[in-house]
């Protein structure tokens, strides 16, 4: 038996997120269907996290165990031959038997893309949030780093079935930056982990700041433990990309 780690990229437009859901197309479901065909029996695939419906990934990490002795280069070819064109396996490697793509992750980087041009090109529309209206971009660039550090991000999280477990909503943001790239306004954030809809809500709050609807004091208030406020809005999923998952060197 081999523990296999893969890095994959996907266009999340037509999928109901990562996690298997009965009767709905998901990334995990597509991978498990293909691996069952290769292995001849069901194969459980674990991911570094659950991307929401419509969210894209440039480099998601997943892992599974196979008894099939197929060489790794051939496994990569076979998976890409069988998978939909919207999901591509970029890299395949053997991992330690206990490798877990979520538990061993040190951090993740996400990027949210906002298109600022008056007319959104048709080939951009599925991968950006179009906002062509007046915006104080400098305010967004200035406030984005304020999200760095260890904070209670309860105000930025959507209701989750995991809430019943009473887990902490404290997370550490290592880097939070925004910049202009042509007609795109890019927000990129790296953290120890993220709550449900958290990144899209962070981007939404920064967009509200750019509209002039909130400032430094209001942003700080959202980060106070037990503030009782709900930050927002939560921007559409199509503008969000999982860029990278970081791991300790010994797992590489």
Digit-coded pLDDT (tens) for 105-157: 999 999 999 999 999 999 999 999 999 999 999 999 999 999 999 999 999 99
Cα–Cα dist 155/169, whole Å: 9
| Whether residue 70 is found in the same domain as residue 124 | no
Within-domain flag for 120: yes
**Helix or strand holding residue 115 (H, E):** strand 107-115
Q: What is the pLDDT of residue 228?
A: 74
Q: pLDDT tens digits, residue range 51-100?
A: 999 999 999 999 999 999 999 999 999 999 999 999 999 999 999 999 99
Within-domain flag for 199: yes
Q: What is the pLDDT of residue 159?
A: 75
Q: Which of 30-34, 86-90, 126-130, 163-167 has the lowest mean pLDDT?
A: 163-167
Helix (H, G, I), strand (E, B) or coil at 93: strand
Within-domain flag for 33: yes
Q: What is the pLDDT of residue 169?
A: 86
Q: What is the pLDDT of residue 163?
A: 58
Q: What is the pLDDT of residue 165?
A: 64
Within-domain flag for 54: yes
Residue 52 annotated among the catalytic residues of the structure: yes
List the domain range (segments joined by +) for residue 27.
2-103
| Whether residue 95 is found in the same domain as residue 9 | yes
Q: What is the pLDDT of residue 131?
A: 98
Final residue belonging to a domain, choices 103, 129, 155: 103
Please report which confidence band the pLDDT of residue 32 belongs to, taking 50, 70 and 90 as the band edges.
Answer: very high
CATH label of the domain that carries residue 54? 3.30.70.580
Q: Which pTM value belongs to this model? A: 0.94
| Whether residue 145 is found in the same domain as residue 87 | no
Final residue belonging to a domain, choices 63, 78, 103: 103
Within-domain flag for 169: yes
| Whether residue 137 is found in the same domain as residue 95 | no
Q: What is the pLDDT of residue 166?
A: 63
**Contacts by 159-166 with C-beta closer than 8 Å and gap 24+?**
159/196, 160/195, 160/196
Within-domain flag for 251: no
| Whether residue 233 is found in the same domain as residue 131 | yes
Domain count, the chain: 2
Please report which confidence band the pLDDT of residue 161 belongs to, taking 50, 70 and 90 as the band edges.
Answer: low
Active-site entry in 11, 52, 160, 181: 52
pLDDT (mean) for 22-37: 97
| Whether residue 93 is found in the same domain as residue 130 | no
| Whether residue 119 is found in the same domain as residue 236 | yes
Q: Concatenate the DSSP letters of all residues of 134-145 into one string.
A: ---HHHHHHHGG
| Whether residue 115 is found in the same domain as residue 235 | yes
Within-domain flag for 252: no
Q: What is the pLDDT of residue 72?
A: 98
| Whether residue 205 is found in the same domain as residue 130 | yes
Within-domain flag for 220: yes
**Better-scored residue on pLDDT, 162 or 10:** 10
| Whether residue 221 is found in the same domain as residue 189 | yes
Cα–Cα dist 201/233, whole Å: 6
| Whether residue 164 is found in the same domain as residue 80 | no
Is the dihedral angle over the CA atoms 54, 60, 64, 67 positive or is it negative?
positive
| Whether residue 145 is found in the same domain as residue 68 | no
Q: pLDDT tens digits, residue range 181-229?
A: 999 999 999 999 999 999 999 999 999 999 999 999 999 999 988 777 8
Final residue belonging to a domain, choices 45, 76, 103: 103
CATH label of the domain that carries residue 147? 3.30.70.660
């Amino acid at each position: 038996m081999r523990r296999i780690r893969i890095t994959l990229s996907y266009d999340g437009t037509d999928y109901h997120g990562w996690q298997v859901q009965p009767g709905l197309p998901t990334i995990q479901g597509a991978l498990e269907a293909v691996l069952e065909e290769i292995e001849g029996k069901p194969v459980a695939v674990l991911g570094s996290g659950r991307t929401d419906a419509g969210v894209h990934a440039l480099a998601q990490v997943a892992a599974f165990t196979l008894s099939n002795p197929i060489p790794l280069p051939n496994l990569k070819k076979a998976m890409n031959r069988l998978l939909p064109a919207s999901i591509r396996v970029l890299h395949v490697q053997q991992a330690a038997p206990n490798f877990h793509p979520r538990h061993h992750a040190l951090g993740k980087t996400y990027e949210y893309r906002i298109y600022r041009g008056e007319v959104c090109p048709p080939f951009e529309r599925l991968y950006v949030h179009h906002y062509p209206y007046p915006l104080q971009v400098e305010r967004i660039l200035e406030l984005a780093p304020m999200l760095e550090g260890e904070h209670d991000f309860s105000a930025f999280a959507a209701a989750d079935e995991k809430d019943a477990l009473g887990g902490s909503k404290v997370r550490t943001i290592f880097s939070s930056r925004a910049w202009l790239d042509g007609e795109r306004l890019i927000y990129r954030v790296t953290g120890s982990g993220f709550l449900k809809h958290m990144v899209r809500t962070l981007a939404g709050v920064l967009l509200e700041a750019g509209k002039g609807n909130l400032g430094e004091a209001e942003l700080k208030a959202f980060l106070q433990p037990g503030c009782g406020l709900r930050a927002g809005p939560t921007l559409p999923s199509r503008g969000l990309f999982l860029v990278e998952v970081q791991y300790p060197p010994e797992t590489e």
